[in-house]
A = this chain, B = another copy of it.
Amino acid sequence: MNGAESLLKTLEAGGVDTCFANPGTSEMHLVEAFDRVAGIRPILCLHETVASGAADGYGRMKRKPAMTILHLGPGLANASSNLHNAGKANTPVINIIGDHATYHRKNNPPLQSDIEGLAKVFSHWVRTCEDPVELAGLGREAIGAAMTPPGRIASLIVPADVSWGDAGALPEIDKIQSFEQSVGERRIGEIAAVLKGGGRAAILMNGRAVADEKCLEAAGRIAAHCGAGLFTDTFSPRMARGRGRAVIERLPYLNDAAAAQLKGLTRLILVGSKPPVSFFAYQGKPVLLAPEDCSIHILSEPHEDPLGALEGLASLLNAPYGIEKVYEGKSPDLPSGEMSMEKVGAAIAALMPVNAIVSDESNTSGPHIFKAAEFATAHDWLFLTGGSIGQCLPLGAGASAACPGCKVICLESDGSAMYSIQALWTMARENLDVTTVIFSNRKYAILNIEFMRMGFKSQGKKAKELFDLSRPDLDFVSLARGMGVTGARASTASEFVDLFGNAMEKRGPDLIEVIL
């Protein structure tokens, strides 16, 4: 058995079943070996940012790693911005990066670069295999690294001659599990005492604490019982939301608004989160968002089990079952008439099917949709975790590959969409059940806001041009057609309701361009 096959069989035995790939010559033996490894499905992506973003979406939904195959340093470089987002989301991902044959590296051929140096920037674990007999073992290590709680980016560099060399017999591999560390009784007791103290308290959650509805329920019981606030960071990897799930307030993106929401707090309990900070710094404004005299306490770190900690805390506090505040009420009525983001939000909330997965990079267009979705049926919401735009469509593709039974809804801004528009082709190739909604306001609207927040009174001609996406207008229906995805344009709320309603009724990829 050659190295390539031993690696793929190891990953398969360890539970990897999906590979997002754009291979090249140095990865040919991996490509060839796929046909002897029944359990891994390779999915072709037309740019590596799609591959890494899809692996992120897959990992957020399955809580186990997908693998990528990337072509030397440049392939890894192309994947890196969405690996940045995946790393900030604590998503488990395994990258297999091809390299020149070990004996050819000294000749510095055109595709040579410092792959290890590059991989270290956006990975938690990096190894280069120099010997085919060690490849299976390193593959096993990579799985372990990726599954280290709360989830890690593992990058394994595989030179071509390590892929084609003789790897000997395959070692036995168990499915590797992730075991989150438990939070001890002592710490739970300390937090209980903090919550019983005076002043205004709140719980700030992120990671699995907001992805798992049982965590939300326990936290909601604690918050209701203690009269504490229950918050989540602006951007979390995945949030369980919709009717019947515990209410949790999301901190606003704008630092002034977030600080206002936290004002008056004297105690902040962190569950898988960090002390809240401003996304960017602004002259003369604080970057730490909690009040200065607010004490900060950790119930659970991101690598620890939030469910055990929250249920233990609720129990210790004798917080009754069923007292948590939950989202309730009827779906909004279907809107009609002129276009507005409130109406788009109402339509999406009313029409989304149960267990839908929303990949949200709608930026300035999004707040009304997120608000309206309180009244939607139970669903998962995935956010832009690392601030690197171009996450939404790849993430949605990967989530759909992970959960083929769920409708995926991508909410994407025009400027961000252009960062990874190639994902549409993979949606078509794999017939992924993804509806992409593009909000075309013909500008980087967030940058207009940020510019003014810097204290400038007006924009010069050159500055304006750098935020403007008109001249020419992007036409996303044509872009979708170019990649085999059916698209249509909605200029009124009524048109949007029709298009979105039809999309929810059928299976497969489509695109709706909302003209704002």
| Interface residue ranges, A against B (CB under 8 Å) | 21, 23-26, 28-29, 31-32, 34-36, 42, 44, 46-47, 49, 73-75, 77-78, 80-81, 84, 88, 100-101, 103-104, 107-111, 113-114, 117-118, 120-122, 160-161, 164, 235, 274, 277-281, 283, 287-288, 385-388, 390, 415, 418-419, 421-422, 425, 428-429, 446-447, 450-451, 454, 456, 459-463, 465-466, 468-469, 471-479, 481-484
Contact = CB atoms under 8 A, between A and B. Distances in A.
Given A81-B77, A104-B287, A42 B279 contact: no
Nearest to A37: B462
Given A32-B451, A84-B113, A121-B121, 7 more contacts: A25-B280, A25-B450, A35-B460, A44-B465, A104-B287, A109-B280, A478-B482
A355 B118 CA distance: 39
B104 A281 contact: yes
Contacts of A80: 74, 77-78, 80, 118
Contact of A73 (B47, B84, B100): B84
22 contacts: A25-B450, A28-B451, A29-B454, A32-B460, A34-B460, A42-B466, A46-B418, A78-B419, A100-B280, A101-B280, A104-B281, A108-B274, A109-B280, A114-B120, A117-B120, A117-B121, A161-B283, A472-B483, A474-B483, A477-B482, A478-B481, A482-B482
A171 to B, nearest CB: 24
A88 B113 CA distance: 10
B475 A482 contact: yes
Contacts of A280: 25-26, 100-101, 104, 109, 111, 160
Contact of A81 (B25, B78, B387): B78
A482 B476 contact: yes
Contact of A472 (B283, B425, B454): B425
A288 B109 contact: no
Nearest to A100: B281
A451 B160 CA distance: 13
Q: Which 10 A-B pairs have the closest CB atoms?
A: A472-B484, A35-B460, A74-B388, A479-B482, A101-B281, A77-B80, A478-B482, A74-B81, A34-B462, A111-B387
A460 B454 CA distance: 57
A121 B110 contact: no
B456 A32 contact: yes
Contact of A388 (B25, B46, B111, B459): B111
